[in-house]
Amino acid sequence: MKKEAEMPDVVGKELPHLWNAMHRYHPGAQQMVAASGEGSWFTDESGNRYLDGVSGLWCLNLGHGRQEIIDAATAQMKKLTYFPLTMSHNPAVKLANKISSLLGGGYQTFFSNSGSEANETAFKIVRQYHKQTGNPDKFKIISRYRAYHGSTLGALSATAQANRRVKYDPGVPGFLHVYPPYHYRSIFGGEPEESDLKAAQLIEEMINWEGEETVAALIMEPFISGGGVIIPSMQYIQRVAEICKKYNVLLIMDEVVSGYGRTGKMFGFMHAEGVQPDIITMAKGLTSGYLPLGATAVKSNIYDVFKEEGKDNHFRHVSTYGGHPAACAVALKNIEIIENENIVERVNELGKSKLSQLHQLMEHENVGEVRQIGFLLGLEMVTDQKSKVPLEDSKMAEIVSKCKKKGLIIGRNGDTVPGQNNVIIIAPPLSSTEEDLDFLVETVESVICSV
């Protein structure tokens, strides 16, 4: 790697025709242009190497360049390049079986291309399900403030972060938002579990005030990730599941980030004993980012309502590329590696022995809270621990930029107080070596201490 002093702040070339995602225009700024990757590292076009501390967009779970995954895609493309799932193909059938068995059995899976589409698919399923089971007025979908569920209009309507939505509102009708289990700044105060259970109670209140006959589903991530890594007590997740069951509100678990080992269980909801969601959506870690794929796994009793004979009750939904044969082959190989290399256990062990060292940063006045579950961490930055005032934007930007200069990419997110992104996000590839994790921890510690 080049010496720190030699590294320019923004590297790469002018990009005259490419419109970046989440683009903010900075006159004269040049974008980072990645050239190649190896394991948890990538190299830009100027030859600088970086450890990717956020796995791309939390998806590159097995890192760059796994030959077995590349071979699986190539072999599948040679054998059957494309086939629509209006019929079926072997990789999709096998993958749907595998997903069902990972979830404990009894799930039917609909494939798409992304997390947003997986959630859109879930919303259409729940609305149709209730229409076909004698509850035609059940159409409302509840989500929690600070949640991110995707960029398409339906998924964005479930996304309850004002700064991502205002330019595109009004969203799709029928989406409601409720207070999240954010005990660090909870209006309820008290112990985390106690305040989280009050947040759960608000969901029951909302269902009652809205009229239970109008509420179709609740969508939640087990651990809000993009909204600042919010980790509720497991009793919260259990209580929400109970409330949903009580009112025939289908529970959609968004496992787009937390699925496939990121949190130290195969799926995040598995941390909460006894919880079995009606619908589970996934993407990202399903293929470790090697190819795009989204999946919506639905309990068989819901699927049954779509296949009664002699009725026009089929699911009128299709995606040209959803469940592409190569993407399904990649997902199967990805899951095989996760199982064979005990990636989930690895996340537990190294999460405890390596990444949890970042909890020591609590000694630093600007670190308000360190939240961690497995390889998913959020460091909530404040001006001082007592006031909890979010650390100002310029300081947050400085931390991210200093890490980058030292060869580490970290994320920044939160929406803690609307629009304020004062949470540092750390979510390295699950296959990162111990040396990679040491480098990550040392760099974050030294940068935070220097700012």
- Rule CB under 6 A: which of 103-142 touch ligand PMP? 114-116, 119
Instruction: Give the integer Cα–Cα distance in Å for 195 and 185.
Output: 10
Please tell me whether residue 149 binds ligand PMP under the rule CB under 6 A: yes
Burial 224-248 (b: 16+ CB within 10 A, else e): bbbbbbbbbbbbbbbbbbebbeeeb
Q: Whose Cβ is closer to ligand PMP: residue 60's or residue 256's?
A: 256
User: Within a 10 A sphere around the Cβ of 440, how many other Cβ atoms?
Assistant: 26
Q: Tokens in use for 133? A: 């089971």
Q: Is 440 in the site for ligand PMP (CB under 6 A)?
A: no
Per-residue contact string for residues 52-91; x = within reach of ligand PMP by CB under 6 A:
-----x----------------------------------
295 close to 286: Cβ distance less than 8 angstroms: yes
CA–CA separation, 267 and 335 (whole Å)? 12
Q: Is 99 in the site for ligand PMP (CB under 6 A)?
A: no
Close Cβ partners of 380 (under 8 Å, ≥ 6 residues apart): 184, 228, 367, 368, 369, 370, 371, 414, 416, 422, 423
256 binds ligand PMP (CB under 6 A): yes
The region of 25-33, 187-195, 254-262, 425-433 touching ligand PMP under the rule CB under 6 A is 254-262
| Least Cβ distance, residue 148 to ligand PMP (angstroms) | 5
Q: How big is the site for ligand PMP, counted in residues (CB under 6 A)?
A: 16
Residue nearest to ligand PMP (CB): 115
| Stretch of 7-15, 145-153, 313-321, 415-423 contacting ligand PMP, by CB under 6 A | 145-153
- Residue 283 interacting with ligand PMP (CB under 6 A): yes
Residue 288 binds ligand PMP, judged by CB under 6 A:
no
How far is residue 54's CA from residue 119's CA, in Å, rounded to a whole number? 22
Note whether 141 and 218 are within 8 A (CB): yes
**Which phi and psi (to 5°) does residue 335 adopt?**
-70, -40
Give CA 336 to chain center in angstroms: 21
Window contacting ligand PMP (CB under 6 A); options: 124-132, 134-142, 250-258, 270-278: 250-258
CA distance linking residue 64 with residue 431, whole number of Å: 10
* Residue 122: CB minimum distance to ligand PMP, A: 11
CB of 281 to ligand PMP, least distance (A): 7
Rounded to whole angstroms, how far apart are CA atoms 383 and 395?
A: 10
Find the part of the chain contacting ligand PMP (CB under 6 A) among 10-18, 220-228, 330-338, 367-375.
220-228
Query: Rg (Cα) of the chain, in Å, rounded?
Result: 22
Spell out, one character per residue from 351 to 390, where the chain touches ligand PMP: x when CB under 6 A holds, - when not: ----------------------------------------
Residue nearer to ligand PMP on the CB measure, 48 or 53: 53
Contact call for residue 226 and ligand PMP (CB under 6 A): yes
Site for ligand PMP, rule CB under 6 A: 57, 114-116, 119, 148-151, 221, 225-226, 254, 256-257, 283
